[in-house]
Structures are given as C-alpha cells and as structure tokens.
C-alpha cells in the first residue's frame, strides 16, 4: 500500500486505541469496532477487519473503506454492523473524524435499564450528563441505513450515545478524544451502577452546579485528552507493544 505519513500516524494511533480498549476490558471478542477518517481522503475511513481481536490490531492490519463499502486498501472484510454504523456516521456527522462503538460492561448494563440516563450522582458523571444522547428503542442489529440513520440523528447534537439494550457509540475529531471519553464513560457508568446497587437514595448534584461543572469538564477534556492518551500508550508499550507494525 502507498500510505502518506499523515495516514500512517492515524493508523498507529487507531491500532493503539483498539489495544488500549482491550487492556481496559472494554472489548467484546472479535466484535465491536473503532474507525477514523483518512487524512486528505474524503469518504475514506480506517477500520479493523472482521476477525482479529482488539489486542491483535496493528497499523498495517487496518483496512481502508469508502462510504459505499468498497475496501480500498488492506486485506479482509468488514463486519456488516461495523460498516453501516461507521459509514453512516462518517457521512452524516461532519465533526465525526473518529467513531468508537463498544459494548463495554458498565455502559451496556446502564443501557439495559428502564432508566438508562446518566444521572448527576458524582463528579465522573459531570463529563457526560449534558453531552449524552439516548437511543431508547432497541431495533436489533444495525444492518441497514434506516437503523443507522437513527444513530446519526442522535449524534448530530451530542458526542456520546447510549443505545438501549446495546452499548455506546462515541464521536470526536481526534482519536485521543474518543479514547478519553471511552475510558471515563465506563467509569461514570460504573460509579452509577455502584450507587444504584447500594439501594440507598441518590444524592443528586443540583442543576445549576451540573451546568457549570459540565462546562468545566469540557475544558478539562481539551486540556487532558492527549496527556491521557500518552499515559495509556506508556502502559500499552509495557504490556502489549507492536501496534505500530
């Protein structure tokens, strides 16, 4: 393959993101999928082929796909739900340079409750309580553009989507931003699960404090997302190197 330096840099970071998610227990066997747009190639995005585990992904393993489903570069096939989710979001949400879809444990557990909303129960939830949309009807596997269109509509105004009985989808303009949100979304859902499991009344943060703190958390993400990604890379390099091959 002829690959520009900009594309190779994205490939390395995306492969690292897959392995970081696996390291944190946020993967789901051979399923789930992350993608990112190819620099200077409108309509093309990078995606894990169907088959390898998150922990096995390398930069050169990723396939390049266009929004019509053609594999432009690389070997293997895309998993159908991966194509419909990612192609639709990349085409329909202009800021979605990166798209992560995962069935991580606590976020998926929250999406399975009658009340699946992130509640303002502690500081972790402040990152997401005003940035999350909810798809509250489970329609089965995302195997067509009609089901994918609902995901696109929900993400036009939010960066995070909890999908009923399913999991989470996140978008950002950088891989670092998606990894940051993936990590802390699972923490927020874990914290809420533990609070609910206690059976005690919730101590909810007042609305005025929620609004001001949520704005602070957006600024915190801008400041911290690359520092967080670098920290995750150090841990990955010590435990599962080779993603840059």
Tens digits of residue pLDDT in 117-138? 999 999 999 999 999 999 999 9
Tens digits of residue pLDDT in 159-168? 999 999 999 9
Percent of the chain residues topping a pLDDT of 70 = 100
Q: Quote the pTM value.
A: 0.97
- In the prediction, which pLDDT does 145 show? 85
Judge whether residue 2 has pLDDT over 90. no
- In the prediction, which pLDDT does 146 show? 86
Question: How would CATH label the architecture of 5-239?
Answer: 3-Layer(aba) Sandwich (3.40)
Residue reference for tokens 């444990």: 105
- In the prediction, which pLDDT does 147 show? 86
Judge whether residue 9 has pLDDT over 80. yes
Residue among 198, 32, 193, 178 nearest 111 (CA): 193
- DSSP calls for 69-84: S-EEESSS---HHHHH
CA atoms of 226 and 141, how far apart (whole Å): 33
Please say whether the beta carbons of 107 and 161 come within 8 A: no
Please say whether the beta carbons of 191 and 125 come within 8 A: yes
- The whole-number average pLDDT for the span 205-211 is 97
- In the prediction, which pLDDT does 183 show? 98
CA atoms of 105 and 103, how far apart (whole Å): 6
Which residue ranges make up each domain of the chain? 5-239
CA atoms of 117 and 135, how far apart (whole Å): 10
Residue among 43, 7, 30, 20 nearest 178 (CA): 20
- pLDDT-based confidence at 63, cuts 50/70/90? very high
Tens digits of residue pLDDT in 167-202? 999 999 999 999 999 999 999 999 999 999 999 999
């Amino acid at each position: 393959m002829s690959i520009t330096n900009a594309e190779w840099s994205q490939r390395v970071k995306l492969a690292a993101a897959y392995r970081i998610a696996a390291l944190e227990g946020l993967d789901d066997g051979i399923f789930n999928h992350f993608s990112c747009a190819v620099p200077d190639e409108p309509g093309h995005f990078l995606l894990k082929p169907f088959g390898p585990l998150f922990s096995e992904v390398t930069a050169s393993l990723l396939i390049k796909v266009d929004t019509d489903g053609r594999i432009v570069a690389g070997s293997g096939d895309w998993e159908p739900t991966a194509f419909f989710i990612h192609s639709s979001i990349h085409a329909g949400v202009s800021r979605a340079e990166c798209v992560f879809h995962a069935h991580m444990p606590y976020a998926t557990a929250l999406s399975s409750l009658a009340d699946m909303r992130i509640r303002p129960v502690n500081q972790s939830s402040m990152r997401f309580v005003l940035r999350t949309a909810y798809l509250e009807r489970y329609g089965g596997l995302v195997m067509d553009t009609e089901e994918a269109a609902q995901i696109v509509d929900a993400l036009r105004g939010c960066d995070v989507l909890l999908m009923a009985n399913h999991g989470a989808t996140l978008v950002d303009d950088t891989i670092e931003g998606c990894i940051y949100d993936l990590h802390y979304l699972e923490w927020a859902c874990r914290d809420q699960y533990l609070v609910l499991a206690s059976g005690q009344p919730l101590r909810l943060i007042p609305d005025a404090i929620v609004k001001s703190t949520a704005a602070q958390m957006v600024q915190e993400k801008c400041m911290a997302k690359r520092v967080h990604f670098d920290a995750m890379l150090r841990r990955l390099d010590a435990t599962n190197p080779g993603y840059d091959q």
